[in-house]
C-alpha cells in the first residue's frame, strides 16, 4: 500500500508544529494529530484591474522546494516613496520586484535602486583600495601626497571626468567591432 503524502512529509521533513490531543475510544486513549495549515492572503502585485474576484482565487502551496518558482510566477512588487537623504531634499520613488528568495537580501535590494547601486560600487572600490594599501607603504605614501596637494586632486578630478566620458564611447565602439567580427 502506498504511503500517504502526510506520512512521507513526516519522515522526510517533519513539521515544526505538531498539535495533538487525546481522544478516549472505549477504554483506550489515542493521540490524534491535527494538521497545521496556514492560509495567507496578501496583495502582492501593484496591478489593480486584472485580478480575479477573491472567491475565484485559489491557494498556492509554497514550500522550500518551489518558493523561487512561485515567486517568479507571482512576481510581487512594492513601490514606496522615501525621503531622499542622499540629496537632502524631496522624495525618492523606489520600485522593488522580488522574483526569487535571494531578491530579499539587502545587496539585491540595493541593486534595484540605481543611486544606491552606485554607492555600493564606490564602497567596493574603496574596500579594494584599502586592501591594496595594507602593507604597501610606497602606494600609501604616494596617495597621501596626492591627497595633500590640492593641485593633484583637481588634476585627478578632471582626468576622472574625462575618462568617465570617454570610456562609455570606447566600450560601445569595441562592442560594435566585436559584434561585427562574430558575423
pLDDT at 181: 56
pLDDT digits (tens, 9 = 90+) for 156-167: 888 888 877 765
pLDDT digits (tens, 9 = 90+) for 76-129: 888 889 888 878 788 889 999 999 999 999 999 999 998 889 889 989 998 998
What is the rounded average pLDDT of the residues 150-173? 72
Residue with cell 500517504: 4
pTM exceeds 0.75, yes or no: no
Q: What is the largest CA-CA distance in the chain?
A: 96
79-95 burial code (b ≥16 CB/10 A, e <16): eeeeeeeeeeeeeeeee
Which pLDDT band holds residue 61 (cuts at 50, 70, 90)? confident
pLDDT at 132: 85
Q: CB under 8 Å to 37, separation ≥6 — which residues?
A: none
N-to-C CA span, the chain: 61
What's the CA gap between 153 and 146, in Å, rounded? 6
Residue 83, phi then psi, degrees to nearest 5: -60, 135
Amino acid at each position: 500500500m502506498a504511503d500517504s503524502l502526510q506520512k512521507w512529509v513526516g519522515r522526510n521533513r517533519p513539521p515544526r508544529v505538531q498539535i495533538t490531543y487525546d481522544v478516549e475510544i472505549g477504554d483506550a486513549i489515542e493521540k490524534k494529530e491535527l494538521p497545521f495549515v496556514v492560509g495567507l492572503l496578501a496583495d502582492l502585485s501593484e496591478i489593480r484591474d486584472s485580478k480575479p474576484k477573491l472567491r475565484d482565487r485559489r491557494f498556492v502551496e509554497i514550500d522550500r522546494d518551489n518558493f523561487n518558482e512561485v515567486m517568479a510566477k507571482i512576481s510581487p512588487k512594492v513601490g514606496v516613496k522615501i525621503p531622499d537623504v542622499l540629496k537632502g531634499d524631496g522624495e525618492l520613488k523606489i520600485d522593488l520586484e522580488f522574483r526569487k528568495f535571494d531578491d530579499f537580501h539587502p545587496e539585491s535590494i540595493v541593486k534595484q535602486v540605481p543611486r544606491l547601486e552606485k554607492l555600493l560600487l564606490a564602497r567596493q572600490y574603496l574596500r579594494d583600495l584599502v586592501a591594496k594599501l595594507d602593507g604597501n607603504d610606497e602606494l600609501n605614501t604616494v596617495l597621501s601626497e596626492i591627497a595633500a596637494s590640492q593641485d593633484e586632486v583637481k588634476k585627478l578630478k578632471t582626468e576622472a571626468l574625462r575618462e568617465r566620458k570617454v570610456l562609455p564611447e570606447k566600450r560601445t565602439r569595441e562592442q560594435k567591432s566585436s559584434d561585427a567580427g562574430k558575423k
